[in-house]
């Protein structure tokens, strides 16, 4: 896992985006479709949570960052 995460170039926006997406899949257990639907408004930085629209269950879920 460490090798995969280290393979992204943090100097490029695309590398930071890819790193973040992989972290969401591996660290939070999100499905790819859920990661693609994330918006900046879904992140509550103050409380350290992220809102996930659960597509199969049609409800919102809050996960810790």
pTM, two decimals, is 0.74
Average pLDDT over residues 40-46: 93
Encoded tokens for 56: 């199969």
pLDDT bracket for residue 59 (50, 70, 90):
confident
């Amino acid at each position: 896992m460490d090798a995969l995460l280290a393979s992204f170039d943090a100097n490029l926006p695309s590398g930071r985006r890819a790193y973040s997406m992989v972290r969401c899949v591996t660290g939070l257990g999100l499905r790819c479709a859920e990661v693609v639907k994330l918006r900046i408004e879904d992140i509550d930085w103050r409380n350290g949570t992220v809102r996930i629209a659960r597509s199969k269950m049609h409800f919102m879920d809050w996960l810790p960052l």
